[in-house]
Amino acid sequence: MKPIVAIVGRPNVGKSTFFNRVSRSRKAIVDNFPGVTRDRIYADVRWKDAVFVIVDTGGFSSFDEGEFVDQVRYQVIQAIEESDAIVMILDGRDDLTPLDFDLIQLLRKADKPVFYVINKIDSPKQEMNISDFFRLGVDSFYPISAEHGYGVDTLLDDVVSVLPRGEPEASEEMIKLAVVGRPNVGKSSLVNQLLGQERVMVSEIPGTTRDAIDTVCRVDDTNYLLIDTAGIRRKGRVRKKLEKFSVVKALKSIDRCHIALIVLDAVEKVTDQDTTIAGYAFERGKGCIILFNKWDLVKKDVYTFQEYKDEVKHRFRFLSFAPILSVSALTGQRVDRIFKLAKDIYEQYSTRISTGTLNRALADIVTRFEPPRYRNRPLKLFYATQVSIRPPTFVCFVNYPEGIHFSYERYMINQFRESLGLDSTPIRLIFRKKNKK
């Protein structure tokens, strides 16, 4: 296991800026507005010959300062408990507050190495202005600028010196699952249910999750990366800059996943926005599982699973390969089936087909139903080869690639699914002109 370093502090002191600099990423959303980060966000860090995990946390606030304060405090405390060292960040351009004193008292009880950092110090000259911070009862501070990098190297040298030595983990295959959907359909509740702990914040207020939250877990003999994402709203409803960042991160999470868990609200039925989100996953060639969440709240005498399934198949015709499952993130109903289903899809998603098997399937496809003529000339499919996986992608060589009608392409994909055992994964076909000898 890699050692863990937690970043803590009150809101808007620069925790996420420091996190992004050290992790050399932009995983944490940064804005001049307190309370942007709410959940714990993790990233791997390599500093010289040391490796560790850094954790960004929400701003430590008083109990009467907002809707999510209790949950943010819980996430901060969880990060402190699991860490091997802690970096507490203070604002070098602001006066001390009672929250700074409260947090220091909490850290002293943790009995772990704590590095007290005064951020927003850009030069040695500004270090002369930190004398007031000694009222906190701390012997030494690290003046830094997370934005410009001043003093960060010295801090990291001292942090890694107290960490247990973390060996680089072997590069194990990991199935990446992105949990996507509209706001307030239960994505974070589903992640917590899958993990068996309150890993991400849950609220009935849409937009609680802002960052894409990554969590690694192991089920049986398989590693999974779970990515909880912000709710994807319609473009017309995304007004605030923060919401736009969150939606962009959600779409990027689809880009880096293998399988999208598309969460629908079974109580509200299917919406146009659900179809749009499913389309994002399809266009990016991702494996998909469609989840009817809140199934425990559906009145079965009014709306049956088969009726719901038929509606989804009609609205998501382009996702005919995606399994459909009714679940309840609240009660855990059928949630345990998701990992097994994802593993089966991933195996198909990563399948390589031998050239011989592929071309026997192609010959059978053409024999059953020849392609229509193009400009009164016969279309000839000569042979096919697989060029990539995730998703399985086949190049078919033909005399007139532009003559392949989309309906015949769809026929070929359906036949390949049936003959090659690829019924639960997207398939891509590319048509190329055969070069003349």
Mean pLDDT of 52-66: 73
CA neighbours closer than 13 Å in the CB half-sphere of residue 119 = 24
Quick check: 388 pLDDT over 80?
Answer: yes
CATH 3.30.300.20 domain range(s) in the chain: 355-433
Mean pLDDT of 271-281: 90
Nearest to 379 by CA among 400, 350, 395: 400
CATH topology of domain 355-433: GMP Synthetase; Chain A, domain 3 (3.30.300)
Task: Report d(CA 29, CA 38) in Å as an integer.
Answer: 10
| CATH superfamily of the 4-162 domain | P-loop containing nucleotide triphosphate hydrolases (3.40.50.300)
Q: What is the dihedral of CA 220, 221, 225, 226, to 10 degrees?
A: -10
Quick check: 78 pLDDT over 60?
Answer: yes
Quick check: 66 pLDDT over 70?
Answer: no
Q: Are strands 50-56 and 41-47 parallel, antiparallel or unpaired?
A: antiparallel
Mean pLDDT of 207-236: 70
Mean pLDDT of 271-283: 90
Question: So what CATH class is 174-349?
Answer: alpha beta
pTM above 0.85, yes or no: no
Dump the DSSP string for 291-318: EEE-GGGS-TTTS-HHHHHHHHHHHTGG
pLDDT (tens digit per residue) in 37-51: 445 788 889 998 888
pLDDT (tens digit per residue) in 257-268: 999 999 999 998
pLDDT (tens digit per residue) in 297-324: 998 887 889 999 999 999 999 999 999 9
pLDDT band at 237 (very low <50, low <70, confident <90, very high): very low
- Asked which of 90-99, 146-155, 214-223 is least confident by mean pLDDT, the reply is 214-223
Q: What is the token pair recorded at 233? A: 């709203």
CATH 3.40.50.300 domain range(s) in the chain: 4-162, 174-349
How high is the mean pLDDT of the chain? 85
Q: Which residue has the higher pLDDT, 77 or 326?
A: 326
CA neighbours closer than 13 Å in the CB half-sphere of residue 408 = 21
